Amino acid sequence: MVFKSDNIQYLKNEMAYSSLSSLISYQSVKLPATIMLKSLYKYFIPLLMSLVLVIPVKSQATGSGADLQQISSDRIWAQTLTGSHFNEFWNYQFYFDNGMTAHIVFSAANFGSLKSPVTGVRVSVYDPDKDRVFQVTREYPIEYLVQDRENYLFKLRPGRDIYFEGKLPEEHRVVVKFSKDGVSYDIDLKLNDIVQGFTLGDSKFRVADESIGIVTHIPYAKVSGHITINNNRKQVEGTAYMDHTHQHQTTTRLMHSGYRFVHHADNENWDILYFLLPSSSNNQSAVGYSLRSENGNVKLMEVDRISYTSDGKAFGKTFPRIVEVKLADQSNLRIARTNDIERFSLLGELGRIARRAARTFLGGEVIDFRGEGTLMESSQRPKHGDYNFFFVE
């Protein structure tokens, strides 16, 4: 379906994330197994919030129908927050003209009897001038969450400057200000020229007997503001993207990987791909979609299946260099990594024993890779953009 758009527009606290280095220090002491288990509960259950979770596939994953739907401004609110288990993520990606990038992921999660429900934020900023990636996480008890529907404010805790606000697609702002482990962060980004959000059908994708909601709230927007890390302030301008994923399950054991690719030319010409691959999908069938705009004509097509035609090494790991994507109309796309900028695992700083225990507890280790890439399609010029892949090992 093709749509002609009208105006194609996470201070310390008791429950904050503790530094992974604190856990590392435990390795020099032989702790009883029960203490080690409690430590893992304390440090690693929150890490699950950084994962997009999918439950086991017993049959081919299916979508909700091949119809493009505009998203109302009220869909930005949490869609879960009830029941014994839930996971929800608001994934912002910013690409700046000076070569910097920022990824900010707000989250809400309930892991049942293992831990009280929490909200959180995960921040990753790449600074090419320093050739360094700054990464930090923070969580709060979910009872502090503010969802002010009248003012369109989503805030993790009163008195803390960690929030997003503004009615889409009219206006939007993302603010993250706090210090942790001797590093201070002050991020204030305002969005304008925001493209209307879209999704596929009712936004629900079926995997076995469960559903996963995927919504693209911001396919494209212009962004300006500042990013300050340890008093090094930089004014930034560029473009922004945001998607929203939610479900009522918490297992990561059978998840294989997830893929995003973003190409921004202008507000009428852009390409978005976001799809997930369950590990039990023996035929490589995936859930997600391709969303693109050509001169303001917006088209959405469901992803059918994927394959890997080439692997490549980066950061000591081997993962797909080229991902072939077959859409529901049997057309093919190809995503190729061209410049690998960031690798991140929340278990990366741990020693061998603690890391092995954490992997067992979490059902695997999730590793994010981000960088630049190219989108290729038959009879089309290659489109340069940014990739964001994650894998469970």
Give me the residue spans of the domains in the chain: 2-392
- What does the pLDDT read at residue 280? 67
- What does the pLDDT read at residue 210? 75
Fold of 2-392: AttH-like fold (2.40.370)
Question: Which pTM value belongs to this model?
Answer: 0.81
Each of the 393 residues of the chain gets a pLDDT tens digit; together they read 444 444 333 333 333 333 333 333 323 333 344 434 444 444 444 444 444 333 332 223 333 435 899 999 999 999 988 777 778 899 999 999 999 999 999 999 876 666 788 999 999 999 999 999 999 989 999 999 999 999 999 999 999 999 999 999 999 999 999 999 999 999 999 999 999 999 998 888 876 667 788 999 999 999 999 999 999 999 999 999 999 998 766 445 546 788 999 999 999 999 999 998 876 676 788 989 999 999 999 999 999 999 987 888 888 788 889 999 999 999 999 999 999 999 877 555 556 676 676 566 556 677 889 999 999 998 899 999 999 998 777
Q: Which residue has the tokens 């089309």?
A: 380
**Closest C-alpha to 364, from 20, 25, 44, 110:** 44
- What does the pLDDT read at residue 29? 33
Instruction: Cis check for the bond before 46: say yes or no (omega within 30 of 0).
Output: no
- What does the pLDDT read at residue 193? 97
Q: Please state, rounded to an integer, the average pLDDT across all residues of the chain.
A: 80
Q: Which residue has the tokens 């892949």?
A: 389
- pLDDT 10s digits, 246-295: 876 644 554 678 899 999 999 999 999 999 887 667 678 898 999 999 99
